[in-house]
Structure 1
Amino acid sequence: MRTLSVALTALLVALVSGCSAPPAPDVALPPAGAVADYQLGGAYDPAPEVTLVVRDSTEAPAPGRYSVCYLNAFQTQPGETPAADLLLTDQDGESIADPDWPDERLVDIRTDAALERAADGIARCADAGFDAVEFDNLDSFTRSAGLLDAEDALAFAADLVQEAHAAGLAAGQKNTAELTEHGHRTGFDFAVAEECDVFEECAAYTDVYGDAVIAIEYTDDLRRPFAEVCADPDRPATMILRDRDLVPAGEPGHVFEHC
């Protein structure tokens, strides 16, 4: 598992000692042990056995399935034209990009503009008929050149959870295994974990969220055959294999398997 710095670990200990989990919201939680499909590369008809589908907020939810809406709350989306006051900027006034996704810019999550943008997205998910929302890039503070920290991320996450619950949606933590306990205390109801088997951190999610973990592995970076992943008794109850680009069914390169 990837490790935190000593300073960040100390900060998280202080945070968790000073807060407790909020009361359970009146929202529909993801079904335990669901067969999931992760369709961020484009919506398509899920396989008959699929009971849970994750789609982008610009798509419609999957009829008859528990539907999770994807929002990139902590960074901008490719092609988005953000307001100037939304972006995190360095001392030279330049916006900060994600080095792995250079067409995504870090959002200044300390601002009203960040929450207003996220609230608009949450409302769009609720109006479309989704059951839940997952918030991507909780760990963007680690790419902020020291301008943001875990406390900022968790404070913003608490606001996102409150907005989601007020809209009748369950709220999902996306990745950042080192913050699972703190995220759950913040109010997240479930987790979406990419490549937890590759990074050997699945237990960090299941120890906190139990069966409420949607785990995705990718074909281009497996550390062992997917059959072995599925045979592991300690794996998340919901575990799927997808192609890295998440292309729709019927297109070249599409892969979808489930345990």
Structure 2
Amino acid sequence: MNRRLAALLPPLCALLVLAGCSGTTAPEPAPPDTRSPDRARWRPAPGTTWQWQLQGRVDLAVDAEVFDIDGFENGADTVAALHARGRRVICYLNAGAWEDFRPDKDAYPPSVLGRANGWPGERWVDIRRLDVLRPVLAARLDMCAGKGFDAVEPDLLDGYRHDTGFPLTAAHQLAFNRMVAGLAHERGLSVGLKNDLDQIPELVDVFDFAVNEECAEFGECAKLTPFTERGKAVLHAEYALPTEEFCDVSRRLGLSSIRKRLALDTWRRTC
């Protein structure tokens, strides 16, 4: 059928309904919006394999079900290439600190910038200022959603336990973390709780999975079981311990464990 004629038929039918307009074909429904907050969010299950690479060109050939990559440094083409290989893709973002090397650095007013956090070019932010940080993080999550990511890893969600330059409390941290999770969910993105082990009981039902560093080295992996007990993955990485020192515990607890270098380049060792 001619496309222009097909476009005209529905309004013509509305005008001629008494005359019994017929023979038209109902338009096909629009495809679902994959970024709609109402869609079923992806939730990785315990045991899901993963790769965590925040430095260098992403190695698409790594044998992992999930890739956690830098949201700013990677474009929609990389996400699409991973999707074409059947992979899920997590957008890494720094939520709890300001970075002087990001394009949105000027969106943070000086009043919310705290002490350096030990990483070059980074400073803690005042997570009490939800009014200031909400639009900044919303724009970052819009970027993740626009590039087609499935989920987000917001880093530094435990500032209240550090010397940030602000009098942060556990209550401030809970409010901030819940805000971040809500912003992600509004955009149809799954969201992982990064570290913040002591607040897992209050946050496990808000977050879709967990991302953890070095729970084996510090004897804390059992604190993550609320996630696996709810069928949610714990994406876990160790830096100093060889795999033979943590993989048995990881398997018993249902963690998705790898060993990485601090640089978080392509190198990894799996359990």
Same fold (TM over 0.5): yes
- On the 8 A contact 1:35/1:52 being kept in 2, the answer is yes
Gaps of 5+ in 1: 1-23, 90-94, 249-254
- On the 8 A contact 1:181/1:208 being kept in 2, the answer is no
Give the one of 168, 172, 178 matched to 1:152. Answer: 172
Counterpart secondary structure, 1:158: helix
Is 2:85 aligned against 1:67? no
Give the one of 112, 115, 121 matched to 1:88. Answer: 112
How far the C-alpha of 1:239 sits from its partner, in A, is 0.6
Counterpart secondary structure, 1:234: helix
Tell me, in whole angstroms, the C-alpha distance in 1 between the residues paired with 2:136 and 2:143: 11
Tell me, in whole angstroms, the C-alpha distance in 2 between the residues paired with 1:86 and 1:157: 22
Identity of aligned pairs, percent?
A: 34
Q: Which deviates further from its counterpart, 236-245 or 117-126?
A: 236-245
Tell me, in whole angstroms, the C-alpha distance in 2 between the residues paired with 1:33 and 1:87: 42
Is 2:206 aligned against 1:191? no
CA pair 147-159 structure 1, distance change in 2 beyond 3 A: same
Aligned to 1:7: none
Give the one of 127, 132, 135 matched to 1:116. Answer: 135
Is 2:262 aligned against 1:244? yes
After TM superposition, the structure 1 = structure 2 runs for residues 215-230 of structure 1, keeping only pairs within 5 Å, are 215-218=236-239, 221-222=240-241, 225-230=242-247
**What are the Cα deviations for residues 166-195 of structure 1, in whole angstroms up to 9, with x where unaligned?**
10111110012111112224x111100011
Aligned length: 219
CA pair 86-148 structure 1, distance change in 2 beyond 3 A: farther
Give the one of 180, 199, 205 matched to 2:200. Answer: 180
CA pair 154-124 structure 1, distance change in 2 beyond 3 A: same
- On the 8 A contact 2:107/2:136 being kept in 1, the answer is no
Tell me, in whole angstroms, the C-alpha distance in 2 between the residues paired with 1:234 and 1:138: 26
Aligned to 1:258: 270
How far the C-alpha of 1:206 sits from its partner, in A, is 2.1
**What are the Cα deviations for residues 121-167 of structure 1, in whole angstroms up to 9, with x where unaligned?**
11111111111111111111222345221211111111111111110
CA pair 45-173 structure 1, distance change in 2 beyond 3 A: same
Q: What is the TM-score normalised by the length of structure 1?
A: 0.77
Is 2:147 aligned against 1:128? yes
Counterpart secondary structure, 2:235: strand
Tell me, in whole angstroms, the C-alpha distance in 2 between the residues paired with 1:245 and 1:84: 26
Tell me, in whole angstroms, the C-alpha distance in 2 between the residues paired with 1:146 and 1:124: 29
Tell me, in whole angstroms, the C-alpha distance in 2 between the residues paired with 1:48 and 1:97: 34
CA pair 206-37 structure 1, distance change in 2 beyond 3 A: same
AA in 1 matched with 2:101: G
How far the C-alpha of 1:102 sits from its partner, in A, is 5.1
Counterpart secondary structure, 1:215: strand
Tell me, in whole angstroms, the C-alpha distance in 2 between the residues paired with 1:173 and 1:25: 21
Tell me, in whole angstroms, the C-alpha distance in 1 between the residues paired with 2:125 and 2:246: 35
Gaps of 5+ in 2: 1-37
Give the one of 87, 94, 98 matched to 1:76. Answer: 98
Structure with higher Rg: it is 2
Is 2:183 aligned against 1:171? no
How far the C-alpha of 1:242 sits from its partner, in A, is 1.1
How far the C-alpha of 1:216 sits from its partner, in A, is 0.7
Q: What is the TM-score normalised by the length of structure 2?
A: 0.73
Tell me, in whole angstroms, the C-alpha distance in 2 between the residues paired with 1:176 and 1:240: 19
How far the C-alpha of 1:45 sits from its partner, in A, is 2.3
Supply the RMSD in Å over aligned alpha carbons.
2.2
Give the one of 123, 139, 142 matched to 1:105. Answer: 123
Tell me, in whole angstroms, the C-alpha distance in 2 between the residues paired with 1:84 and 1:75: 10
AA in 2 matched with 1:54: D
How far the C-alpha of 1:105 sits from its partner, in A, is 1.2
AA in 2 matched with 1:40: L
Q: Which structure 1 residue ranges, 4+ long, deviate > 6 Å from structure 2?
A: none
- On the 8 A contact 2:227/2:233 being kept in 1, the answer is no
Tell me, in whole angstroms, the C-alpha distance in 2 between the residues paired with 1:174 and 1:137: 7
